[in-house]
């Protein structure tokens, strides 16, 4: 009986060690409330403002480079995400894992006076988005409404900290679509501007 208890105790101990190795405390530390506080801190705000200036400078270049493109709105999506669940390590080997990343994107929303595919083809011919990253580390892409898929720029629901700002008011993309017809979006995704390890 005593050896059965000892074996059961050993098995439970091994399970605990294995569980501790798989679900390490780093998955829970720092706690989410602390990450939210960091995301709203002065240090992050400074990095956020620099990231916004870089994106808006590129937005101004696009507006100057495509004179017929009249934005209905310019949406800035800024969010800090808990990324700890994106990796599981058995023994904690390898480089330090990230806890939170903050990144910002801009969306130039417009409605061309022609077929959206034709408008995008003209942009690609006259003022093409860069292949790969632009000099400011921004990836760019063009999207438009189709019967199967509508363009979107919403903030993730599980963000630790998020902000969505619009240049031309508070109309949703659905309202702009209702008023203007099919929408096109020139999406600009900046690199991560702040990371917590």
80, pLDDT greater than 90: yes
Residue 11 banded pLDDT, cuts 50, 70, 90:
very low
Rounded Cα–Cα distance for residues 26 and 99 (Å): 8
Tokens at 158, concatenated: 């599980």
pLDDT number for residue 91: 52
Contact present, 90 and 181 (Cβ < 8 Å) = no
12, pLDDT greater than 90: no
> Which among 104-108, 125-129, 164-168 has the top mean pLDDT?
104-108
User: What are the pLDDT digits (tens) for 44-58?
Assistant: 999 999 999 999 999
**What does pTM read for this prediction?**
0.79
User: Which residue from 141, 168, 159, 150 is spatially nearest to 76, judged by alpha carbons?
Assistant: 168
Sign for the pseudo-dihedral over CA of 155, 109, 165, 176: negative
DSSP E strands, the chain: 73-82, 100-110, 139-144, 161-166, 184-189, 194-196
């Amino acid at each position: 009986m005593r050896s059965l208890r000892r074996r059961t105790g050993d098995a439970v101990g091994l399970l605990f060690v294995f569980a501790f190795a798989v679900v390490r405390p780093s998955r829970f530390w720092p706690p989410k409330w602390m990450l939210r506080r960091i995301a709203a801190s002065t240090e992050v705000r400074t990095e956020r403002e620099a990231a916004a200036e870089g994106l808006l400078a590129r937005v101004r270049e696009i507006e100057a480079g495509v004179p017929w493109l009249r934005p209905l709105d310019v949406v800035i999506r800024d969010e800090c995400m808990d990324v700890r669940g994106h990796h599981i390590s058995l023994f904690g080997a390898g480089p330090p894992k990230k806890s939170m990343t903050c990144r910002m994107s801009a969306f130039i929303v417009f409605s061309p006076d022609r077929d959206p595919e034709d408008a995008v083809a003209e942009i690609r011919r006259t003022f093409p988005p860069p292949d790969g990253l632009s000099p400011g580390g921004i990836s760019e892409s063009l999207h438009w409404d189709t019967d199967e898929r509508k363009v979107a720029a919403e903030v993730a629901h599980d963000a630790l900290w998020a902000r969505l700002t619009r240049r031309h008011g508070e109309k949703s993309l659905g309202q702009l679509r209702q008023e203007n017809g099919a929408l096109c979006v020139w999406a600009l995704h900046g690199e991560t501007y702040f990371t917590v390890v």
